Amino acid sequence: MTEDVIMAEGLTKVFNKSLVAVDHVNFNVKEGEIFGFLGSNGLEKRQPLTC
């Protein structure tokens, strides 16, 4: 059984006290997995990594 090397629970990012960019995101990345966010330009895919 592989271990989680990254665990994120309940990540939320709000700009200007009203714009929610990321709302309660949860994810786990196990040892040896390749992980990435997919989506169009401007969708704030990097925000979970900077919370």
Residue 42: the pLDDT is 67
Classify 2 as helix, strand or coil: coil
CA distances from 19 to 5, 14, 31, 38 (A): 30, 5, 34, 21
| Distance from the first to the final alpha carbon of the chain | 29
Provide the pLDDT confidence category of residue 4 given band limits of 50, 70 and 90. Answer: very high
State the pLDDT confidence band at 31, using cuts at 50, 70 and 90: very high
pTM of the shown model: 0.61
Evaluate if residue 30 carries a pLDDT over 90: yes
Identify the DSSP state of 42.
Answer: T
